[in-house]
Amino acid sequence: MNVLLLCYYSLDSDKFASILDGSNWLQYISSILNAANTIVEKSLKKGVAALVHCSDGWDRTTQIVSLIQMMVDPHYRSIEGFEILIEKDWVAFGHQF
């Protein structure tokens, strides 16, 4: 089911919960956060370098790398830092928004 359908239902609607569950969106977000967290933990605690590249190199790669930078560097958690992050890792690489 299309996640955009969620815009038509209120959060307390049974239909909203059903569409959200059927979209697997929460599992997708969980896997992205877990990947970023794993890389940060291995990098900071064990000094391991990481190369991040997902199947098509567009969505998950950029999402994971952006989250890692936000987790490690407080500058990217500011408005100005977030703007720089979007410009350098999304716009400059031609992300297909």
54 assigned to active site:
yes
Share in percent of the chain as helix, strand, coil (round to 5): 70, 0, 30
Burial class of residue 39, CB neighbours in 10 A (0-12, 13-18, 19+): buried
Q: Is the dihedral of CA 33, 38, 39, 40 positive or negative?
A: positive
The structure tokens 């990098």 sit at 43
- Which pLDDT score is estimated for 68? 96
User: What would the pLDDT profile of 14-50 be if each residue is shown by its tens digit?
Assistant: 888 888 888 888 898 999 999 999 999 999 888 888 8
Of residues 54, 70, 84, 86, which has the active-site annotation? 54
pTM: 0.78
